[in-house]
């Protein structure tokens, strides 16, 4: 699974894929279907973007974000939704960057929540 994978687009076949409307709609659908995860900053290319690893799936990708490339630090963990837009990947940050113990605690919490949700309930 690629970093920031999302469900396939459901743009109407009547909207040409090359049209401005079709491109905007695909981007909005990709953003809306992006999965929330924790991403660790692995590498920074100042002015270009950052390489991140999805701590829940193990996937990695390059995020095209010049602003984030000037403020992020290697090792920080950011809660985000990553989505594709053509050949680029972008992130919508959903909280502050976490360092060290904060990141470990967040990952433990999310892992336990996901385990609870996947365990069948007995009545």
Residue 3: per-residue pLDDT: 74
Query: Which residues, 6 or more positions from 73, have their beta carbon under 8 angstroms from its beta carbon?
Result: 41, 44, 97
Is residue 32 included in any domain, yes or no? Answer: yes
* Count of the separate structural domains present in the chain: 1
> Do 37 and 65 contact (CB within 8 A), yes or no?
no
Tokens 């929540």 belong to which residue? Answer: 113
**CA-to-CA separations, 105 to 57, 94, 110, 111, in angstroms, rounded:** 17, 17, 9, 10
> Do 36 and 56 contact (CB within 8 A), yes or no?
no
Is residue 48 included in any domain, yes or no? Answer: yes
Higher pLDDT, 10 or 32: 32
Q: What is the mean pLDDT of residues 77-97?
A: 88
CATH code for the domain of 109: 2.40.50
pLDDT tens digit string along 89-98? 889 888 888 8
What's the domain range around 52? 20-118
Is residue 95 included in any domain, yes or no? Answer: yes
> Do 83 and 73 contact (CB within 8 A), yes or no?
no
3-state secondary structure 52-92: EEECCCCCEEEEECHHHHHHCCCCCEEEEEEEEECCEEEEE
Residue 66: per-residue pLDDT: 92
Is residue 61 included in any domain, yes or no? Answer: yes
Tokens 């950011």 belong to which residue? Answer: 78
Is residue 42 included in any domain, yes or no? Answer: yes
Residue 74: per-residue pLDDT: 93
Query: Which residues, 6 or more positions from 58, have their beta carbon under 8 angstroms from its beta carbon?
Result: none
Is residue 109 included in any domain, yes or no? Answer: yes
Higher pLDDT, 1 or 37: 37
Is residue 70 included in any domain, yes or no? Answer: yes
Confidence of residue 123 (pLDDT cuts 50, 70, 90): low
Residue 92: per-residue pLDDT: 87
Higher pLDDT, 44 or 100: 44
pLDDT tens digit string along 18-77? 677 777 888 788 878 788 889 999 999 999 999 999 998 899 999 999 998 999 999 999
- Whether the per-residue pLDDT at 8 is higher than 60: the answer is no
């Amino acid at each position: 699974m690629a970093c920031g994978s999302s469900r396939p687009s459901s743009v109407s076949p009547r909207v040409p894929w090359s049209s401005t409307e079709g491109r905007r709609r695909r981007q909005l659908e990709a953003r809306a279907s992006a999965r929330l995860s924790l991403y660790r900053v692995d590498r920074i290319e100042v002015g270009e973007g950052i390489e991140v690893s999805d701590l829940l799936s193990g996937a990695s990708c390059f995020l095209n974000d010049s602003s984030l490339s000037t403020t992020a630090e290697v090792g920080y963990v950011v809660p985000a939704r990553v989505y594709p837009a053509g050949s680029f990947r972008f992130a919508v940050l959903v909280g502050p960057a976490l360092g060290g113990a904060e990141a470990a605690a967040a990952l433990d919490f999310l892992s336990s929540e996901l385990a609870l949700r996947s365990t069948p309930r007995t009545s």
